Structure 1
């Protein structure tokens, strides 16, 4: 009854703070935030901490990727320098091999030219020898023919015995 009388007395002309619904809404609002605020604050901070941890992890991963990229770039630069050095060595070796092949080809050419020259000289000498032999053979044939003709003329005229005697007389001089 006190509550009813109090409620009836308040309606008679006095308005109290406790009878105002806005007050109770504000009190409920504050109680809600007091009770739920801790939970909400905890959830919000956990969510922000997770987001901070994710960002920190992403930054660490980015730093690791950057370090890996720099390491890969350094290795690629080193490999490129090594490849350039090897390419220079290969080019130098190819030039030296080309020079050796050129010198060998020149030597082979000189040898071939000398061999052909010698073959030509041998053929010339062989041709000269053959020509000389043909000239001698022809001279012998001509001399024999002339001798036969001369002998026929002289032998036919009776000089045969005189020539044989003369040849026998000259034999001891020619043998010794």
Structure 2
């Protein structure tokens, strides 16, 4: 053993071992502190990520509800618009039919008036022709004495025809 105590390699080994042990003890706290800090940071990051994931899921659920509500509202609006369009179409058809009936009645009334007017014109023309023809016939067949007799007779019957 004495030889071992004088051997420099032995003392270098012991010094190196002692140095490593002391450095390990001193560095152990720092290394473990760093590792603990890093572990704490990782845990914090994981918790933050988990919280963000939960918030993201809540937001996703909220937006999905909003989308469903918006889709239901859009379907309701479309259904109401279709119903309103149907009502407008029915109203327009009823108004069109009413207008057509009114126009047909106006045309029928106008045709009736035109027919009555034509009949009146024809009667007036026929009466005028009859008067002219009668006057011509009377003028051709009656002499002055017959003409005087007709005038006297018309004058006599005039007061009775006036009542």
DSSP-derived class of the 1:159 partner: helix
Distance in 2, matches of 1:31 and 1:22, equals 14
1:173 positional shift? 2.6
Aligned length: 163
Superposition RMSD in Å: 1.8
Q: Following the alignment from structure 2 to structure 1, what is the Cα–Cα distance between the partners of residues 76 and 154?
A: 91
Q: In structure 2, which of residues 48, 52, 67 is the aligned counterpart of residue 80 of structure 1?
A: 67
Q: Could you say what secondary structure the match of 1:118 adopts? A: helix
Give the aligned partner of residue 158 of structure 2: 171
Structure 1 match to 2:13:
26
Matched, 1:92 2:87: no
TM value normalised by structure 1: 0.84
Report what 2:25 is aligned to. Answer: 38
Pairing of 1:87-166 with structure 2 (within 5 A): 87-166=74-153
Partners of 2:61 and 2:157 in 1: CA distance: 112
Cα deviation 1:102-141 (Å, max 9, x = unaligned):
1111112112211220221122112111211121112111
TM-score (ref. length: structure 2): 0.90
> Which stretches in structure 2 are left out of the alignment for 5+ residues?
none
Correspondences of 1:44-59 after superposition (within 5 Å) = 44-59=31-46
Instruction: For 2:100 and 2:58, locate their aligned partners in 1 and report how far apart those are by CA, in whole Å.
Output: 62
Q: Verify the 8 A CA contact 1:17 1:23 in the aligned structure 2.
A: yes
